């Protein structure tokens, strides 16, 4: 890269110093993904943390925050290069910024070390105290982007706060029952907060705490944090909200490069809930050193009992929303006008995807209210008057019907959905403060309203919403009333006395709808199928009975109704063709009977003279793979099936059997099979994880004991594991 094209190096570099753990486990080099279950093993001894802090200070580093494993630091470029014997460079890399805009941003890298974004300290004097340095990276808010107490008159239809958002998420009925989030501590990490008259009018109170490196607690230059905070209060009007101002400005550019330190600062507030409407675009299987640190802090927060919520993204593959301990929030659009008024559909502005990092992790878990493409303008929110957001959103596209200085703008995105869900969590925690993060997520999922129309953001695959759990919306649109109702059912004060009665337990479970989503009856779009349905049922029944008899399966039946059918998708047609090709690898019953007869007609001498390969052919059973007949076409078909997520178990079986081919003739096939398995590594890992996790929703329910309030599992025979 020529010197004139290199980006300007910032005056200060931010990073996380990783202190050596007490167990020897490395956050930077561990092959295991950090979750709330294993995060403790990465913590350092307190005295080693203290020693590392003193040595960093002595070397000229500014200490921003000290945690159990990470020390947030800042210094000029020369301090890093001198202390760690390295050279730093500034590099422009592609990112997705606000408004879903593909762009570039400046990243700092150590020229001498790998992977990107890490400083290796193993050959320096720091080796005895530090495991390495993770250089901080920019993240972006997931909303593209004289005040009055009420929004101005406007030409377009938007949702208002608080009433419209509360109604859309079914929270008004909860408020009428006196549940408002009172006493529940919510922390938002965002751009700051401005005391807009709207908040004073509704008596909403916010405490502002600066993230390391941030300044001016009374300003919100972006307006993002101010606007999105109104979503929390719309759902939980009496929640205790703390805003961690996280809006680093370097050389005139907004670069939120202290995300790890900001999240640690949030944990220090000892909240019940942390809501984050920002992240990075993580499409690689490998996390950067910075994101490994961020994942560890998310895991630490959840392990300490904090509910952590992240926006899924608006066309980006949001991280840390992908972290399995976090609640990933997507978007559902509710039509406000016209013939479709009131209809719910997946927001085509919100992201949905399967994480490339965490096997089987689907994003989102569930959804809040989000607008549609192109700009997500949907909720009229209070912002600092005459700020850049006020000016820009009043004129972008057709404008939002507001003036450039009135302190109101229409926007949404999953940035709005995340604090909406945080508000529902606050209502739930008011009812039962002992709810664990896992229980909160589970109840939110199982009480969400199913959304069956629409598609998610095309930049993340444009996945279609369907009946039941789907990739576009997860479990659907969050429902505050049903979530609170579920918490009440599970935390009855007389749980330990009442759950001795199986009838009572069954009633509790049925009351809160913790069952699989039921598909709606099929419409008349399949009239030909309806006429032949009885005939199809009979064919399926005969095939099932034959399979039961042949393989000695349990005596079961398959209930087939009209609502089991949906239009055949192109990917299903492709999968059918690929599966047909693979079927030629498998030994049929007819082939088995023929070879069996042929073998029985051989003399003893003929049998003794058979080669090893011929013996294998005669001994192969029905449904086993004819290894000697596997071709390149079979390898390609198996790999394609794994990639598209269809018939994966059978495809993996073909590839692994192909590795057993012997002789020179099988060399090329073995090589192809090995390469195919390697290229499908993440898909195979996801398939393996999901196959181990095939338990029903009811199997996963953990009833909280209302008597001792300890959050332990409460069984159905009247005894709590603790009391």
Residue owning tokens 């979530």: 483
- Strand pairing report for 318-319 and 278-281: antiparallel
Q: How far apart are CA 500 and CA 40, in angstroms?
A: 37
Q: Which of 224, 463, 634, 647 is catalytic?
A: 224
* Whole-Å CA distances, 430 to 241, 426, 487, 677: 14, 6, 10, 49
Q: What's the distance, Cα to Cα, between the start and end of the chain in Å? A: 67
Choose, from 72, 288, 412, 415, the residue flagged as catalytic.
415
Closest CA to 303 of 490, 66, 41: 41
CA distance 148 to 405: 11
Coil, strand or helix at 158: coil
CA 331 remoteness from chain centre: 13
Q: Of how many residues is the chain composed? A: 723
Residue 224 known to be catalytic: yes
Contact between residue 680 and residue 642 where contact means Cβ atoms under 8 Å apart:
yes
CB 214 within 8 A of CB 268: no
Helix, strand, coil share (%) of the chain residues, nearest 5: 40, 20, 45
Q: Which of 190, 236, 299 is nearest to 425 (CA)?
A: 236
Cα-Cα-Cα-Cα dihedral sign, residues 294, 295, 300, 306: positive
> Does residue 106 contact residue 149 with C-beta atoms inside 8 Å?
no
Q: Facing residues of 625 across strands?
A: 586
Contacts of 122-125 with C-beta under 8 Å, sequence gap 24+, read 123/85, 124/83, 124/84, 124/85
C-alpha distances out from residue 697 to 237, 451, 472, 601, Å: 31, 19, 20, 55
192 backbone φψ class: left, alpha, beta (φ>0; ψ -120 to 50): left
CA–CA distance, 302 with 287 (Å, rounded to integer): 20
DSSP notation for 554-614: --------GGG--PPPHHHHHHHHHHHHHHTTBPPHHHHHHHHHHHHTS-HHHHHT--HHH
CA distances from residue 321 to 257, 324, 411 in whole angstroms, order as listed = 17, 8, 21
Structure tokens at 464: 């279609």
**What distance lies between CA 53 and its chain's CA centroid?**
34
Angle between helix 667-679 and 632-644 (nearest 10): 10
Strand bridging mode 118-119 / 130-135: antiparallel
Residues 6+ apart with CB under 8 A from 241: 186, 187, 188, 204, 205, 206, 207, 229, 232, 233
Of 382, 353, 326, 436, the residue nearest 160 (C-alpha): 382
CA 517, 522, 526: angle at the middle one, nearest 5? Answer: 145
Which residue in 190, 291, 432, 470 is the catalytic one?
190
Tokens of 109: 């890298």
CA max distance for the chain: 103
CB 105 within 8 A of CB 54: no
Q: Which residue has the tokens 């073995």?
A: 670
CB-based contacts of 242: which residues, under 8 Å, 6+ apart? 185, 186, 187, 188, 206, 207, 208, 209, 269, 271
Q: Which residues are catalytic?
A: 190, 224, 415
């Amino acid at each position: 890269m020529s010197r004139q094209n290199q980006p300007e190096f910032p005056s200060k570099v931010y990073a996380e110093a990783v202190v050596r753990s007490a167990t020897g486990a490395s956050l930077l080099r561990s092959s295991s993904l950090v979750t709330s279950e294993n995060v403790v093993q990465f913590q350092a001894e307190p005295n080693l943390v203290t020693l590392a802090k003193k040595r960093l200070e002595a070397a000229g580093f500014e200490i921003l925050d000290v945690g159990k494993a990470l020390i947030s630091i800042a210094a000029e470029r020369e301090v890093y290069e001198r202390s760690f014997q390295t050279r730093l460079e500034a590099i422009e890399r592609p990112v997705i910024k606000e408004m879903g805009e593909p762009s570039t941003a400046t990243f700092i890298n150590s020229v001498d070390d790998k992977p990107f974004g890490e400083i290796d300290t193993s050959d320096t004097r720091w080796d005895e105290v530090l495991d390495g340095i993770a250089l901080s990276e920019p993240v972006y808010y997931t909303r593209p982007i004289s005040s009055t107490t009420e929004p101005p008159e406007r030409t377009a239809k938007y949702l208002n706060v608080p009433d419209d958002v509360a109604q859309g998420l079914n929270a008004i009925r909860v408020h009428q029952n006196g549940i408002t989030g009172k006493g529940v501590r919510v922390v938002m990490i965002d751009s700051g907060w401005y005391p807009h008259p709207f908040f004073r009018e509704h008596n909403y109170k916010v405490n502002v705490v600066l993230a390391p490196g941030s300044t001016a607690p009374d300003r919100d230059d972006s307006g993002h944090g101010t606007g999105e905070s109104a979503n929390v209060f719309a759902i939980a009007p009496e929640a205790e909200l703390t805003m961690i101002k996280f809006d680093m400005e370097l050389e005139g550019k907004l670069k939120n490069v202290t995300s790890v330190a900001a999240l640690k600062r949030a944990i220090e507030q000892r909240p019940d809930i942390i809501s984050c409407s920002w992240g990075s675009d993580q499409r690689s299987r490998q996390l950067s050193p910075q994101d490994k640190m961020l994942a560890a802090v998310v895991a630490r927060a959840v392990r300490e009992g904090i509910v952590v919520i992240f926006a899924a993204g608006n066309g980006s593959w949001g991280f840390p929303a992908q972290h399995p301990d976090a609640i990933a929030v997507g978007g559902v659009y509710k039509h406000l006008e016209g013939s479709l008024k009131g209809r719910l559909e997946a927001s085509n502005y919100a992201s949905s995807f399967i994480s490339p990092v965490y096997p089987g992790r689907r994003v989102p878990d569930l959804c809040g209210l989000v607008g549609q493409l192109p700009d997500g303008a949907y909720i009229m929110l209070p912002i600092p008057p005459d700020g850049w957001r006020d000016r820009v959103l009043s004129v972008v596209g057709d404008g939002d019907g507001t003036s450039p200085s009135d302190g109101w703008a229409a926007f949404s995105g999953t940035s709005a959905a995340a604090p909406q869900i945080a508000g529902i969590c606050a209502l739930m925690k008011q009812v039962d403060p002992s709810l664990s993060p896992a229980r909160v997520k589970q109840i939110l999922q199982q009480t969400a309203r199913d959304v069956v129309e629409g598609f998610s953001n095309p930049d993340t695959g444009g996945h279609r919403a369907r009946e039941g759990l789907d990739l576009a919306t997860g479990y659907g649109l969050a429902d505050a009333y049903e979530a609170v109702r579920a918490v009440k059912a599970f935390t009855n004060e007389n749980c330990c006395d009442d759950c001795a009665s199986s009838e009572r337990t069954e009633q509790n479970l049925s009351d809160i709808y913790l069952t699989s989503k039921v598909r709606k009856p099929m419409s008349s779009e399949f009239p030909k199928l309806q006429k032949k349905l009885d005939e199809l049922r009979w064919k399926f029944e005969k095939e099932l009975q034959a399979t039961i008899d042949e393989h000695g399966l349990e005596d079961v039946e398959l209930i087939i109704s009209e609502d089991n059918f949906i239009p055949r998708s192109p990917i299903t047609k492709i999968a059918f063709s690929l599966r047909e090709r693979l079927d030629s690898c498998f030994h049929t019953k007819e082939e088995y009977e023929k070879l069996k007869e042929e073998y029985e007609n051989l003399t003893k001498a003929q049998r003794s003279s058979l080669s090893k390969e011929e013996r294998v052919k005669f001994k192969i059973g029905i449904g086993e793979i004819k290894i000697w007949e596997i071709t390149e076409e079979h390898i390609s078909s198996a790999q394609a099936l794994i990639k598209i997520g269809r018939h994966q178990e059978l495809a993996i079986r073909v590839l692994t059997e192909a590795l057993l081919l012997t002789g020179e003739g099988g060399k090329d096939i073995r090589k192809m099979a090995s390469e195919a398995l390697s290229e499908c590594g993440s898909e195979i890992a996801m398939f393996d994880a999901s196959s181990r996790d095939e338990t029903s929703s009811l199997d996963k329910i953990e009833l909280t004991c209302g008597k001792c309030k300890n959050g332990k599992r409460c069984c159905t025979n009247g005894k709590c594991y603790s009391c």
